Each structure stands twice: as C-alpha cells, then as structure tokens.
Amino acid sequence: MQPNTLLDAILDEAGISHAGLAAHVNQAGRARSLALRYEHTAVARWLKGQRPRGQVPDLICEVLAARLQRSVTLDDIGLGVPGEPAAPHSTTLSGFVERATALWRSDEQQRPHILGAPAVTGTPAVMPVWEWENPPEDVDVSRGGRHRVSMSDIEMLRAARAHYEQMYRKAGGVATRTRIVGFLNSETAPLLRGSYPDATGRQLHRATGGLVAIAGICAYDSDAHGLAQRYFHQALRLAKASGDRGLGAYVIALLVNQALFMRENRQAVAFAEAALRAAGRQITPALASDLYAMQAKAYAHLGDGSSALSCIRRAEQAADRIRRGHEPDETGYVQPGLVNVQVAEALLSLGDVTAAREHAAAAVDNPAHDRGRVHRLAMLTQIELRQGNADKAVVTAVEMAERARGMESQRMRDRLRAVREHLVASGCAGTAEAAELIDGALRVPL
C-alpha cells in the first residue's frame, strides 16, 4: 500500500482539511441516500493508500470539483479503478510529472504518511526497472506551457545537483533533504510544467533525474526507505525520458545499494545485471566497477563464493579503466578506493579477513570526501577487531569519530554505533576514549 500523494496534493490545493473533506463527503452521500459517518481518521487512511469503498471515491471527486470549480477524475485523486485501464493522461509523461510533483509537495510538507511509508517489495519494486529496460520509449518529450525553458534553466538544475551532492557529503542526508525537496518544489516543478521542444526536454528530464536521485539518497540516509525508493523510481522514469541509459544505470546502482541494506540480495544481483545489460556501451568504467562490486557483496551474503570472486575480478578490471575527467558528474562518487572498501566487505563476508584488511587499508590510503572516509575507517576498524588488532582498531576508530562529527546521517550513526559496540566488547586499552568520541559524534541531533 503506497501513500496517495495525488489526493494529498489536491486537498492542499482545494484548502480542505481532513475533517472538512470527511464532512463534505458525508453531506454529499446524504444526497444519494447514503448514511456515511466518516471522520478525519478515515481521510488519513485514504492518504496512506487505503481505497474507500463503494461510491465514496466518486463523492470525493464531486466535492473537490465543486471546490475547485473544474472537473476532477478518479485518476486525478489517485483512485483510478483497480483492474481497469487508467485514463490516458495518467500513463503519459505529463501524468507522471503530476504524480512526481505531488510527492515532492507532500514531502516538503512533511506528511507523516509519506515519511513513514515502507519500501515496496516483489513486483511493485521490480516493475520500474523492467519498464526502464523495455519498450516503449518516449518518442517525443516536448511540452507546451507558460514558461519557456532555456539552457540557462537546465544549467541551474545541474549546478543545484552538484551543490546538494556536496552538501550531502559534508553535512549528511538529514540536513540536506529538506533543502533539496524545497528546491524541487520551487524551481524544478515549474520547469517540468513549462514549454520546451523535444531536444531541450531530454536535457531537462536528465537534469531533473540527477536532482531527484540526490533527493532519494538523502531520504535513504534519513531512514525513510519507502520515500527513497519512490524518488529512485522517479529518477529512473526521468532517465528513460531523457534517453540517457547511463543515467538510468546510475539510478539502478542506487536501488542496488538500498536492496543490499534491506538484505534483498537476490534483487540486488538482478538489478545490477539489468543495469549492466541495458546500459551497454553507455555504462562507464566507474559505474560498472561499482555495480560489479555491489554484486560481489550480494553474492557473498548469499554464500556464493565463486560468483562473488568473479564479480570482484570484474570490478577491479573496470576500476583500472576509469579515466578521470571522462566520467559524468553522477559517477563522481566512485573515487579511488571505493571499490577496495566494497571488495573488503565482500571478502569479510566470505571469511577471508586477511585479504579484506588489505583492501580496507588500500581504501583508507586513498583520498576521499569526509563521508566516504568515515565509512572506510569504519570498515578498517571492524576488520582490525576481527584480526585481534584492538590497539590499531582504537586508533582507527578515533580518526573515524573525529571525521564524523557534525554529520546528520542515520546511516553514519548506524556505522558509528556498530563500531562502538565492537570496541567495547573487545575490552582493550583506549576503548573508553574512542567510545567517548563516538558518543560525542552521536550527540548531533537528527
């Protein structure tokens, strides 16, 4: 059950409260000889994704149409009849834009049913990837609107993506998410509804896809996994509209990373294969190396050592082909040492602690942005503890805690807590100092 962001957005547009809608629906029902007794709690359930029974969806349309003084359909309020073909508009790119911007609006308003929605699994999780990989393609993405979109508008979106990515790396996703969602609503949504020819539209959808992907990363970093997944699915649809298969493969890499976190290892393998297969020559060495490395982790978690080692070799071969300056902005996260830390995690899962430490140490020896360095130091600390090198682990953990200070990130807090637990369990000298530093980093409010 997914939150009904279209209903949420149109209620906001109409200026009707939950209690007000319930009262109006009850009144409209009486005109049809229906004894309805809905309250605001029923509307809250509808916004969470529950479909009201009987004639109630039609009554909601009637109430909203009278308030807005225009026609309102079931598809407009996210209550199209299950099992029946959707109205043409709801399946078009313009229909997607309305659904996407409705989500941004609900997110900016911090609707609880949006923030707390769980991630979908099974077919609903797989279908967006299947639809990205398979026909039909978007033949024409042009649109007629009031504002004429220019290349300067698109450059603004690209600059914003880079800005929010750097903010995320330094401050964490919790601090960055509200800012990027505000930007999507105030600056990006009007452009998507603007006027542009096909060629400009392709670039607009590509630039928007990159921004939406960062919003998904920030939601993931905030532990809002259902919301993150919806942003990733949006970014994938935008990538398809842009015609850039490489961007789509990058978005799928984000879905692979989320699947690994959620322990959906078979799904992670399948998604990575889809990205590598469908992107073809548009996939870059940096992205290929990350996808193969994440596949290796998934296979290792599944206990398939031979497949994991095969993917490790492919990841290392792809990493050797990376040419700085020849990669798109989105793959800038694949910095020197990233594959090493991914491989270290896979090898640790396979029980090869010695080889895992070699890769983790190599990762730490390479420069990285603050966030990446914290994760690398956390992995090295974990491995050093596994090897019984508690003194070295304490030194590594101290640097990790100092680097993490000030970051508002749920994923970072998870890593810090895990390291702290392992350190305390080791009982070695210096543990108290390291634990105190970690506690200090954890005191940053989220």
Whether the Cβ atoms of residue 290 and residue 339 lie closer than 8 Å to each other: yes
Residue 91: its pLDDT value, please? Answer: 64
Cα–Cα distance for residue pair 156/188, rounded to 1 Å: 10
Mean pLDDT lowest for which of 418-422, 428-432, 433-437? 428-432
pLDDT band at 1 (very low <50, low <70, confident <90, very high): low
CB atoms within 10 A of CB 136: 7
What's 329's DSSP letter? G
Q: How many CA atoms lie within 13 A of 90 on its CB side?
A: 15
The residue ranges of DSSP E strands in 375-422, in sequence order, are none
Q: Whole-number mean pLDDT of the chain?
A: 91
Beta bridge partners of 196: 143
Q: pLDDT digits over 15-63, tens only?
A: 889 999 999 999 988 988 888 999 999 999 999 889 998 889 889 988 9
CA distance 61 to 80: 11
pLDDT in tens, 120-132: 989 889 999 999 9
If you ran DSSP here, which 8-state letter would residue 184 be given? I
**What is the per-residue pLDDT across 39-52, written as a single tens digit (0 to 9) for each?**
999 999 999 889 99
Share of the chain above pLDDT 90, in %: 63
Task: Give the per-residue pLDDT at 254.
Answer: 98
What domains, with CATH codes, occur in the chain? Answer: 1-74 (1.10.260), 91-243 (no CATH), 256-358 (no CATH), 369-446 (no CATH)
Q: pLDDT for 164-187, tens place per residue?
A: 999 999 999 999 999 999 999 999
Q: Taking a C-beta distance cutoff of 8 angstroms, is the pair 364, 377 a contact?
A: yes
Closest CA to 97 of 35, 167, 157, 145: 145
Would you state the torsion angle of the CA atoms of residues 428, 432, 437, 443, taken in this order, to the nearest 10 degrees?
120
Q: Which residues, 6 or more positions from 223, have their beta carbon under 8 angstroms from its beta carbon?
A: 410, 411
Between CA 330 and CA 207 the distance in angstroms is 11
Whether residue 84 is predicted with pLDDT greater than 80 in this model: the reply is no
Helix (H) or strand (E) holding 192: helix 189-192
DSSP β-bridge partners for residue 232: none
In the prediction, which pLDDT does 252 show?
98
The reported pLDDT for the residue numbered 24 is 92
Distance of CA 44 to the CA centre of its chain: 25
Q: Which of 134-138, 307-311, 352-356, 388-392 has the lowest mean pLDDT?
A: 388-392
pLDDT tens for each residue of 237-250: 999 999 999 999 99
Q: What percent of the chain has pLDDT over 70?
A: 97
Q: Answer yes or no: are the C-beta atoms of 44 and 3 closer than 8 Å.
A: no
Bridge partners (DSSP) listed for residue 195: 148
Residue 144: the pLDDT is 92
Between CA 10 and CA 60 the distance in angstroms is 11
